[in-house]
Amino acid sequence: MSTIPPPPPKLQRRLASKVARSVILVALVIGLMMSTIVAYLDLIETNNNFRETVAQVIKTAHEPAARSAYNLNDDLAGEVANGLMEYKSIISVTILDDLHNTLTSRSSIIEASPHRWIANNGFGGLQSFEVELRTIDDTEVTAGYLQVIADPIGVAGEFIRRVALEALVIILQSLIIASIFSFIFYRLLIGPLQNISHALATTDPDAPLQTQLAVPKKNHGDELYVLAESGNRLLQSIAKRIQERDTAEEDLRKAAASLEQRIVDRTVELAKQFEAAKAASKAKQEFLASMSHEIRTPMAGVLGLADMLLDDKITPDTREKVDKIKEATQSLLVIINDILDLSKIDSGKLKLENIDYQLRHELNKTIEIVEQSAQQKSLKLNIEIEDKIPNNLHGDPTRLRQVLINLLGNAIKFTEKGCVTLSARQLTENQNKSWLVISVTDTGIGIPDNRLKEIFDEFTQADASISRRYEGTGLGLAISKRLVDVMNGSIEVSSEEHKGTIFEIKIPLNKSNKQAAAPVQKNVAAIYETRRNLSILSVDDTPLNLRIISVLMEKYGHRVKEANTGKKAVDLLTDVTQKYIPDLILMDIRMPEMSGPEATRIIRDLDSEIANIPIIALTADVVEDHVKEYLEAGMNAFVAKPINPSVLLEEINNVMQEVIHEPVTEKKQSA
């Protein structure tokens, strides 16, 4: 804990400054409001006085003006007009006879003044007056007319000077009052608060009793006095706690002295175990990455060639076989993905998909995938589904199918003759709880009783001779067991040697609230239209992969140039003689001489527009940590091998930031 007291607040942040600013601001606002009110009232009164004065002057000149009009005396009319013009606000006088003939007219130039705006807006500008002239002798007869124009500019100037003086006086009064209140606030409140604040700020945290909070006598009994006394009690309590803490710390130091060596020894041991665990985890990740790459690479070739065959004109029978090859390969891909996620399953981080699906469709599809394996061994493959099981369920059909493929695959592998049966039934515990029970029964070699408990362990089969005869990794049942556990279900096995085995899985039966979407038919597929043709550089060390990518991209009208190493790709882009600048780069990861990430870093460091070319990683290594490294190297995105064409086309749209490939309405393929 720092014992350095906090610095005093800046002047503008001090409480005294804030209070003074607030009081002065309020005083100014009130002064301005009062000045405005006084000015407004003064304006009304001045305007009324001006009009009344002009009217009084006209009234004074009424009788001589009437005589001059009655007698048609121009000289008298001129004298009257000259007399009216002596009044400084009158700028025009005209006397007319009863037939509106002008007897005399006097006028002066309108005075230019900076106060003209207030004269026009506040006093109405030039004021016109016209009165009928009647003599005292004959008040019934109109002798003529007197027309007067008055300019309030003089009155406006006097009004401005008077209002300015009044406003100045009012604002000065407000500021004086504000200063008095600020001084009173400082003496009664802010000053004592500053003393308390300074005392607390300079208090030594380890010696709180050295500080005593106090306020002036005039504050005794008020809230500040209560605050100071409460602070003193708090400081006393802190001092007591510090003393208790020091005593406890001393006891702990004595106890810790005897444990230090044990802690050091244990720390060294844990450090060794931690390093060993890190090394094992890294080795596991590298193994999974290598396994993913080595398995996915040939699978990418299989799926790519299958897609190329499907684009050719082939017979319906051949098309069906190619479809089966593609579906089986894709099922293997699902299994490989699950193997890569085995550590995630063990740690409980695997997330299940929750969608509506059709149970019978999924079970029939599962049978179709393993059907060819059964036919090769002349095994009968049966499927039995209880009628009362609802067809529309909610859950993860992909994981369920994976478990069933593992169980059916094992059953076919270990059965030489007879049959393999997939059956499903509904088990109801009560009104609110039902289970989906699926069994896989075979007539194979069976499992010895002493091996049943180990059958779900990783890399385990019945015995060594079984492994040599039937091969396999021993991961299928281990993964299936973990997947069923994640589904909140259970899996059991019963077997009799030389007679067969029954695997039974039981998972919650969750009915769907709506009709599940109908499965997509084989003769319907999503197609795309290319809005703009791209120049693409494809980089891969496997010729088959280069061919597959080129065929796929050229199918959509793009121009593809190939490079079989990362170094050749960099050389091609930096060759000034060719000046080759593609729109997009599709980059493999694991390549001899220079890897994809290494080539990407070199491209990103180039001082030209080539450095900004979008790069998509096409990789069979999809371990999460490795994918993160690809993106950190400067790649814009990645697509896993085997390549799903739709995924690649959409990813190209994303990195190009425009719709290069536009999905169109599904189209029926020709038979």
Q: Are 424 and 437 in contact (CB under 8 A)?
A: yes
Q: Which domain holds residue 232?
A: 208-256
* 642 secondary structure, DSSP code: S
The helix or strand, by DSSP H or E, that contains position 616, with its residue range, turns out to be strand 615-619
Question: pLDDT tens, 324-337?
Answer: 777 777 666 666 66
Length of the chain counted residue by residue: 671
For the segment 420-431, the average pLDDT, to the nearest whole number, is 88
* Cα 590 versus chain centre, distance: 35
Residue 189 maps to a domain: no
Q: 529 forms bridges with which residues in the sheet?
A: 662
Residue 668: pLDDT over 60: no
Tokens describing residue 440: 């896989």
* CATH number, domain with residue 592: 3.40.50.2300
Which residues, other chains included, contact 64 with Cβ-Cβ below 8 Å and sequence gap of 6+?
76, 79, 80
Domain shared by 416 and 299, yes or no: no
φ, ψ for residue 425, nearest 5 deg: -145, 165
Tokens 């469709």 identify what position? 361
Question: pLDDT tens, 122-157?
Answer: 888 888 888 888 877 777 778 888 888 988 888 888
pLDDT at 587: 93
Question: pLDDT tens, 8-25?
Answer: 666 666 676 777 778 788
Overall pTM > 0.85: no
pLDDT at 281: 62
Domain shared by 310 and 251, yes or no: no
Q: Is the torsion defined by CA of 466, 470, 476, 480 positive or negative?
A: negative
Residue 60: pLDDT over 50: yes
Domain shared by 110 and 229, yes or no: no
Q: Are 446 and 499 in contact (CB under 8 A)?
A: yes
Q: How many CB atoms lie within 10 A of CB 448?
A: 14
The C-alpha atoms of residue 246 and residue 281 are separated, in whole angstroms, by 45
Domain shared by 252 and 308, yes or no: no
pLDDT at 468: 38
The C-alpha atoms of residue 560 and residue 648 are separated, in whole angstroms, by 15
Tokens 């009052």 identify what position? 177
Q: How many CB atoms lie within 10 A of CB 539?
A: 30
CA contacts within 13 A on the Cβ side of 468: 3
Closest among 651, 639, 646 to 663, alpha carbons compared: 646
Closest among 202, 71, 84 to 143, alpha carbons compared: 71
Question: pLDDT tens, 538-592?
Answer: 999 888 889 889 988 998 999 999 999 999 999 999 988 888 899 999 999 888 8
Domain boundary among 167, 194, 218: 167
Residue 437: pLDDT over 90: yes
Residue 544 maps to a domain: yes
Tokens 């802010």 identify what position? 190
pLDDT at 475: 66
pLDDT at 440: 93
Residue 244 maps to a domain: yes
Residue 187 maps to a domain: no
pLDDT at 256: 75
Domain shared by 445 and 543, yes or no: no
Q: Which is more confident, 105 or 296?
A: 105
Domain shared by 265 and 291, yes or no: yes
pLDDT at 562: 93
When pLDDT is cut at 50, 70 and 90, the band that residue 268 belongs to is confident
For the segment 33-62, the average pLDDT, to the nearest whole number, is 86
For the segment 193-203, the average pLDDT, to the nearest whole number, is 71
Write the burial class of residue 194 (CB in 10 Å: 0-12 exposed, 13-18 middle, 19+ buried).
Answer: middle
Domain shared by 302 and 381, yes or no: no
For the segment 482-499, the average pLDDT, to the nearest whole number, is 88
The C-alpha atoms of residue 540 and residue 543 are separated, in whole angstroms, by 7
When pLDDT is cut at 50, 70 and 90, the band that residue 348 belongs to is low
Domain shared by 140 and 281, yes or no: no
Domain shared by 64 and 133, yes or no: yes
When pLDDT is cut at 50, 70 and 90, the band that residue 523 belongs to is very low
Q: Computed over its alpha carbons, how large is the radius of gyration of the chain?
A: 51
Region of poorest pLDDT, from 31-35, 50-54, 191-195: 191-195
The C-alpha atoms of residue 412 and residue 198 are separated, in whole angstroms, by 87
When pLDDT is cut at 50, 70 and 90, the band that residue 442 belongs to is very high
Tokens describing residue 671: 């038979």
Query: What's the total number of domains in the chain?
Result: 4
Residue 292 maps to a domain: yes
Domain shared by 382 and 482, yes or no: yes
Q: What angle do CA 254, 256, 261 make, to 5 degrees?
A: 125
Residue 460: pLDDT over 60: no
Residue 414: pLDDT over 50: yes
Average pLDDT, the chain: 80
The C-alpha atoms of residue 78 and residue 29 are separated, in whole angstroms, by 54
The helix or strand, by DSSP H or E, that contains position 493, with its residue range, turns out to be strand 490-496
Residue 329 maps to a domain: no
pLDDT at 347: 52
The C-alpha atoms of residue 212 and residue 221 are separated, in whole angstroms, by 17
Residue 47 maps to a domain: yes
When pLDDT is cut at 50, 70 and 90, the band that residue 384 belongs to is very high
Tokens describing residue 213: 């909070």
The C-alpha atoms of residue 30 and residue 444 are separated, in whole angstroms, by 102
The C-alpha atoms of residue 516 and residue 390 are separated, in whole angstroms, by 11
Question: pLDDT tens, 236-260?
Answer: 777 778 778 888 888 888 877 777 7
Residue 218: pLDDT over 70: no
Domain shared by 244 and 363, yes or no: no
pLDDT at 669: 38
* 391 secondary structure, DSSP code: S
Closest among 313, 325, 358, 304 to 511, alpha carbons compared: 358
Domain shared by 124 and 229, yes or no: no
Task: Give the 3-state secondary structure of residue 146.
Answer: strand
Residue 12 maps to a domain: no
For the segment 402-415, the average pLDDT, to the nearest whole number, is 89
